[in-house]
């Protein structure tokens, strides 16, 4: 990782923490992943040689930058966000990082977007969005994830109660192997092992 990107990520970490502490309005919070989660995601993307990554929940683009750096020059991160103010912040951060060419920003409802994607289109999916919708998305997520690849779900320990329905669906699905990693706020790894 280049020094300029490392410095920008540190700046965004501090900004996110300050912003979130200063507001009680959840829609204005950035709710970024932790630094160690960013490193973990980058490691998974690199070791899996992933080139077509889907991120659901852009916020200000902090996690997107980790992913975009990890996919390399010939990879793409498609990231979905609905909040206009977060989309604008993320766009600025992508430009500042010099990684805009690797990132496709989508302003849409995540469920509608993933329902429209091709089978096996993505070799890595990162979920950091409305946890209450993951169970509804599960059939589409299964379809669009390439065989032998991972879905990673953030907040799997900190918000475990919000993921109970989703966890049951995953556990009941043939051909999927899940494991909980105690990194950051908890990362649930789901391997499409078919």
Query: Tens of pLDDT along 37-53?
Result: 999 999 999 999 999 99
Angstrom CA distances, 26 to 93, 97, 105, 151, 162, stand at 21, 26, 22, 25, 16
**pLDDT level of residue 25 (50, 70, 90 thresholds):** confident
Q: How confident is the model at residue 32 (pLDDT cuts 50, 70, 90)?
A: confident
Q: Is residue 43 part of a domain?
A: yes
- The rounded mean pLDDT for the chain is 94
DSSP-derived 3-state class of residue 91: helix
Give the CATH number, domain containing residue 116.
3.40.50.150
Q: Of all residues in the chain, what percent carry a pLDDT higher than 90?
A: 81
CB 93 within 8 A of CB 8: yes
Closest by CA to 67, choosing from 82, 54, 85, is 54
Helix (H, G, I), strand (E, B) or coil at 158: coil
134 falls within a domain:
yes
Cα–Cα distance list, 19 to 110, 177, 184 (Å): 25, 37, 19
Residue 29 above 80 pLDDT? no
Residue 24 counted as domain residue? no
Whether 146 maps to a domain, the answer reads: yes
Residue 7 lies in a domain: no
Write out pLDDT tens, residues 70-87: 999 999 999 999 999 999
Domain that holds residue 134: 33-192
Q: What is the count of structural domains for the chain?
A: 1
pTM higher than the cut 0.85: yes
CA distance 1 to 103: 17
């Amino acid at each position: 990782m280049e020094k300029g990107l490392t410095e920008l990520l540190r700046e965004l970490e501090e900004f996110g923490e300050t912003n979130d502490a200063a507001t009680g309005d959840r829609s204005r919070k950035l709710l970024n992943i932790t630094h160690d989660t960013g490193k973990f995601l980058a490691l998974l993307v690199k070791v899996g040689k992933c080139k077509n990554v889907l991120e659901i929940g852009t916020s200000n683009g902090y996690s997107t930058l980790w992913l975009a750096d990890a996919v390399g020059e010939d990879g793409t991160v498609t990231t979905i966000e609905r909040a206009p103010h977060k989309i604008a912040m993320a766009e600025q951060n992508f430009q500042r990082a010099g990684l805009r060419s690797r990132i496709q920003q989508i302003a849409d409802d995540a469920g509608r977007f993933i329902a429209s994607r091709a089978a096996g289109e993505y070799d890595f999916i990162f979920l950091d969005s409305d946890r209450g919708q993951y169970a509804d998305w599960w059939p589409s997520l299964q379809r669009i994830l390439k065989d032998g690849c991972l879905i990673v779900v953030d907040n799997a320990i900190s918000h475990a109660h919000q993921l109970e329905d989703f966890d049951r669906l995953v556990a009941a699905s043939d051909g999927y192997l899940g494991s909980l990693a105690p990194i950051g706020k908890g990362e649930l790894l789901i391997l499409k092992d078919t």
